[in-house]
Amino acid sequence: MQSLVVGIDGGGTKTRAILADERGEQIAEAIGAGSAVRPHEIERSAGIIAGVVRDALENGGQPDARPRVVCVGVAGVGREPERQGLLDFLVAQQIADEVVVETDFAVALEDAFGDGPGVLLIAGTGSSAFGRGPTGATARCGGWGPVFGDEGGGSWIGRRALSVVSAAADGREPETALTGAVLTATECSETAELIRWAAGATPGKLATLAPVVISVADAGDLRANSVVSMAVEELALHIRALARQLFSDERASVPVALTGGLLRRGSSFRKRLEHRLRAAVPGAQVYGEEIDAARGAVRLAIRHLQLTA
């Protein structure tokens, strides 16, 4: 009987699971709500992840099967208490013989570079960068969370867009096309209603404004363009910091992979970042393929299966 493994990519907006056999051949997949770990909400994240695992088994026609290994790559487990807490909840859910919990960037880095050197930038609801140097040394940059970090990520862009809209309403800044676009996106009839909307908005909800801001910037609005430019600069600084730390400096040859909802191939935002990297990190060699973090989690699950066989 074949052994089954499941790889999980858990972000702030969605959670994706791939069910595969021990050779890594995909059998089925499933998508659920965002499962990024936030303080005091670890049990919620575990429940979402367990549900997506069950959905993947159902979609694969094996609802009663028990995977040998489930590897979970999820945002928000960079600290040991959160990682261990999520692991404990998932083990209690009895979703597999063994559960492995990794950071979201660890599974994405696996898909991009395997065990080789490189810098991975993730920009979706939040943002973070992780790298491995030629010597095997690792380091991370960013990923400090939505309250005072996640620079350049979707929720960060959303918050700044709201600030621009409020300043324009006050007359502190010129009028901007962001006002109408943000009101439409939030289903608010006037700017004052944004106070209540923002007060109840999760990071994921704020991040839904990012595509709006990018679209308005692409149409030529100066203030939206300024927000996008700041986001691009912040993300470029993440990569430059790791290039200096792991590869001696930003002029050295640095393999770079880009992933996350904001950095899809062909998007105007990704193109702007790649253009900025030519000056900010001259040695950057951007990996052109799409990064599939859930696929990376499958590979780590198989590696764990082989080590424990």
Share of the chain above pLDDT 70, in %: 99
- pLDDT of 129: 93
4-110+292-308: which CATH number, 1.50.10.100, 3.40.190.10, 1.20.1250.20, 3.30.420.40? Answer: 3.30.420.40
Share of the chain above pLDDT 90, in %: 73
Question: pTM (2 decimals)?
Answer: 0.80
User: Are 68 and 3 spatial neighbours (Cβ–Cβ below 8 Å)?
Assistant: yes
Highest mean pLDDT pick, 4-13, 215-224, 288-297:
215-224
pLDDT band for position 18 (cuts 50, 70, 90):
very high
Nearest in space to 297 (alpha carbons), one of 13, 14, 19: 19
What are the pLDDT digits (tens) for 55-89? 999 999 999 899 999 999 998 888 888 999 999 99
User: Are 237 and 267 spatial neighbours (Cβ–Cβ below 8 Å)?
Assistant: no
Contacts for 120 with CB less than 8 Å, ≥ 6 apart: 105, 108, 109, 112, 113, 129, 130, 131, 256, 257, 258, 259, 291
- pLDDT of 86: 92
3 state DSSP class of 305: helix
Domain map of the chain by residue range?
A: 4-110+292-308
- pLDDT of 306: 83
Q: Where are the beta strands (DSSP E) in 154-301?
A: 254-259, 284-286
CA distance 232 to 271: 10
Tell me the sheet residues that pair with 15: 10, 32
Q: What is the largest CA-CA distance in the chain?
A: 69
Q: What is the mean pLDDT of residues 297-309?
A: 87
- pLDDT of 309: 65
Q: Which is more confident, 251 or 245? A: 245
Phi, psi of 28 (to 5 degrees): -160, 170
- pLDDT of 78: 81
Among all chains, which residue has been given the structure tokens 């424990």?
Answer: 308
CA distance 203 to 201: 7
What are the pLDDT digits (tens) for 222-237? 999 999 999 999 999 9
What are the pLDDT digits (tens) for 147-201? 898 999 999 999 999 999 999 999 999 999 999 999 999 999 999 999 999 999 9
What are the pLDDT digits (tens) for 205-214? 999 999 999 9
Q: What is the mean pLDDT of residues 250-263?
A: 89
**Cα 119 to the center of its chain, rounded Å:** 14
In this predicted structure, the answer to whether residue 286 has a pLDDT above a threshold of 80 is yes
* CA-derived radius of gyration, the chain: 20
In this predicted structure, the answer to whether residue 261 has a pLDDT above a threshold of 90 is no
Q: Are strands 26-33 and 284-286 parallel, antiparallel or unpaired?
A: unpaired
In this predicted structure, the answer to whether residue 2 has a pLDDT above a threshold of 80 is no
pLDDT band for position 1 (cuts 50, 70, 90):
low
Sign (positive or negative) of CA dihedral 78, 80, 82, 84: positive
